[in-house]
Amino acid sequence: MAPITVLDTIGNTSLLQLRHIVPPNGSRILLKLESENPTGSMKDRMALAMIEAAEADGRLQPGGVVVEYTAGSTGVSLALVCAVKKHPLHIVSSDAYSKEKLDHMRYLGANITILPSDNGKHTEELTKSMIREAYLLAEKTGAYITAQMENVDQLQAYKKLGNEIWEQTGGHLDAFVQSVGTSGSLRGISETLRGLDDHIRFVGVEPAESAVLSGFPSGSHHIDGIGAGYVVPLWHEGIANEMECVSTDDAKAMAFRLAREEGLFCGMSTGANVIAALRQAERLGPNATIVTIMPDTGMKYFQTFAQD
């Protein structure tokens, strides 16, 4: 048997019931601890799926260069996968995003192009500028661009995550809640779970300051990894039964509560997810089970939290 690599440790993360931050009606809220993945992020799953699919069909040759645009976590995950598989990686990102993530990419060997932001704000224009720059770089160098906003290869990774949730809950869940960035995770998980039980409700979460999927204008916010500011290519209306909007300030406050009351040090997207899950619990009543995601660890955001 060949020895395992760090890539073999991706997935099969724990599902934890919240004990202290709970709704008054007694609903169960279960949190999938994706911080247990090697880089501390659920994006390890999709990075591995995108690279392996491209290797399998010849889009990415041995030793071939990879390009991606990213707010951070996808870049770190790709840097890990590319380091193990010996693919040079060039990342296009911005100073709007966590310095810890940018440093992590560099330590794993990625080359990074940093685009300036408008005072650290996450906006539609910044996202689209990063995408344009990444495509230009790939065209100029002949690199393979993983293009996370439109790459359907990632869906297989999230379908596996959906199956993990089903197995860990014994098929007993009433709602699934997840914040929307590329929308790949909510799409892949919902497709899997809907196929197993069409009574499960699926709830998307986005920043209140830029709630475009809820029909509001695009704006700026400070929640890394979600809220692209426009309707992303992987999104379609049937993915979620409803949307929840959570402000940056509320998401940050909940992230701090999770650390202090549950011992779970997480980022703001987790805070947003838990707020939305609590709202669902109020509606679904005392016998409901709601599952949501802890997409990453708060260790990626020390300086971000200090600055805000």
- pLDDT bin (cut points 50, 70, 90) of residue 307 is low
pLDDT at 299 over 60: yes
Q: Do domains 6-36+152-307 and 43-145 have the same CATH topology?
A: yes
Mean pLDDT of the chain: 94
Is the distance from CB of 179 to CB of 206 less than 8 angstroms? yes
pLDDT at 224 over 90: no
C-alpha closest to that of 77 among 162, 152, 11, 144: 11
Round to the nearest angstrom and report the end-to-end CA distance of the chain: 49
What the block records as the tokens of 302 is 């020390």
- Which pLDDT tens digit goes with each residue over 10-22? 999 999 999 999 9
Amino acid at 86: K
pLDDT at 306 over 80: no
* CA–CA gap between residue 273 and residue 275 (Å, rounded): 6
Rg (CA), the chain: 18
Side-chain-facing half-sphere of 161: CA atoms under 13 Å: 36
Amino acid at 69: Y
* CA–CA gap between residue 296 and residue 275 (Å, rounded): 16
What the block records as the tokens of 116 is 């300036």
Length of the chain: 308
What does DSSP say about strands 28-33 and 15-17: parallel, antiparallel, or unpaired? antiparallel
pTM: 0.94
Q: What pLDDT, on the 0 to 100 scale, is given for residue 2? A: 74
- The domain defined by 43-145 folds into Rossmann fold (3.40.50)
Q: What is the CATH number of domain 6-36+152-307?
A: 3.40.50.1100
Residue with tokens 């707020």: 275
C-alpha closest to that of 294 among 307, 308, 272: 272
C-alpha closest to that of 243 among 221, 256, 226, 255: 226
- Which pLDDT tens digit goes with each residue over 157-178? 999 999 999 999 999 999 999 9
- Which pLDDT tens digit goes with each residue over 89-111? 999 999 988 888 899 999 999 99
Q: What pLDDT, on the 0 to 100 scale, is given for residue 36? A: 98
**Across residues 179-204, what is the average pLDDT?**
97
Show me where the domains of the chain are located: 6-36+152-307, 43-145
